[in-house]
Amino acid sequence: MGLLQKILVPFAGLILAFCFYSGKEDFKPGMLKGKHVIVTGASAGIGEQMAYHLARMGSHILITARTEGKLQKVVARCLELGAASASYINGNMEDMTFAQSVVKKAEDLWGSLDMLILNHVGVSYFNYFNRDVGHVQKLLDINFLSYVTMTVTALPMLKNSGGSIIVVSSLAGKVGFPFVVPYSATKFALDGFFSSLRQEFVMQNTNISITLCILGLIDTENAMKAVSGVLKSSAAPKEECALEIIKGGALRQREVYYEYFSTKIPLLIRDWAPNLLDYIIRREYNVENLNN
């Protein structure tokens, strides 16, 4: 047994290292040049920064959110930065007809699609669960069902291009965090749907990659406003976060962790010591500063 362990453990280590490092491609900004990309939730925050990175890389970009004035400004900036083209369509992702029409607009504009970046997130509260089932349902529509609707509508174009779906999720979509109960539920749903779909794509030889992005706290205006004074953790920069998401999608990675250690280590602890992880997470909050 001892001898077996001495041989098996290093051997398993070698195989794992080989699987991890072999065939890894480096990211080059040229990979996105001339590609047709939809970015949702791009009027602000991480989505806006993704649009700017893609513009610098020379992509064709279609952005969407509700606020037309903000989208117009982002489109103008994308054109200044070198986008091959930039357009917008504004509307509410609570409405599945609108979700479909975003993909239809890409089809009308380009006739093809290489990358679908699903990033938008509906407004929620940061506090104890208020038992409002209607809000959970609304958030599921915006954060989950519209992602599914856009994916289904985009499948024919993505199959043709051998394209990519990038799903922006959160550590709160893998681990339970307090004060974001409805939000967390929608992010867990994304993991279930897209991780299962990835399996079926492989089984059916469908050449579409799915990248699920597990993000920690990022310094977007809305996130900072929500958690300030309550959450003790520090936030990572949205510009770098946006770039890491695009890189992961372009390299067809299964999952992106940003920032790597602050998301990956909790996930390692989760399976072996979930109560310890829950305890560590609870200690990160100044509960007395929650808005009443």
Ligand X SMILES: NC(=O)c1ccc[n+]([C@@H]2O[C@H](COP(=O)([O-])OP(=O)(O)OC[C@H]3O[C@@H](n4cnc5c(N)ncnc54)[C@H](OP(=O)(O)O)[C@@H]3O)[C@@H](O)[C@H]2O)c1
**Chain contacts with ligand X (rule: CB under 6 A):** 41-47, 65-67, 70, 92-94, 119-123, 142, 168, 170, 215, 217-218, 220, 222-223
For the chain, percent helix, then strand, then coil, each to nearest 5? Answer: 55, 15, 30
> Least distance from C-beta 234 to ligand X, angstroms?
11
How far is the C-alpha of 198 from the C-alpha of 116, rounded, in Å?
15
Q: How far is the CB of 250 from ligand X (least distance, A)?
A: 18
Q: How far is the CB of 62 from ligand X (least distance, A)?
A: 14
Q: Which long-range contacts (CB under 8 A, 24 or more apart) does 145-150 make?
A: 145/96, 146/93, 146/94, 146/96, 146/99, 146/120, 147/118, 147/190, 147/193, 148/193, 149/96, 149/99, 149/100, 150/38, 150/40, 150/99, 150/100, 150/102, 150/103, 150/116, 150/118
Active site positions, annotated: 183
Extract the tokens encoding 132: 């409002």
Q: Select 157 or 231, whichever has its Cβ closest to ligand X.
A: 231
- Residue 180: CB partners within 8 Å, gap ≥ 6? 124, 126, 172
Rounded to a whole number of angstroms, the minimum distance from the CB of residue 173 to ligand X is 8
Q: Tokens 């398993």 label which residue?
A: 12
Q: For ligand X, which residue has the nearest CB?
A: 45
Distance of alpha carbon 179 from its chain centroid, rounded? 20
Residue 6 vs 104, nearer CB to ligand X: 104
Nearer Cβ to ligand X (45/178) = 45
3-class secondary structure, 150: helix
Torsion from C-alpha of 284, 287, 288, 292, nearest 10 degrees: 140
Instruction: Give whichever of 170 and 209 is closer to ligand X, judged by the CB atom.
Output: 170
154 vs 223, beta carbon nearer ligand X:
223
User: Taking the complex as a whole, how short is the minimal distance between the CB of residue 67 and ligand X, in angstroms?
Assistant: 3
- CA torsion sign for 118, 122, 127, 131 is negative
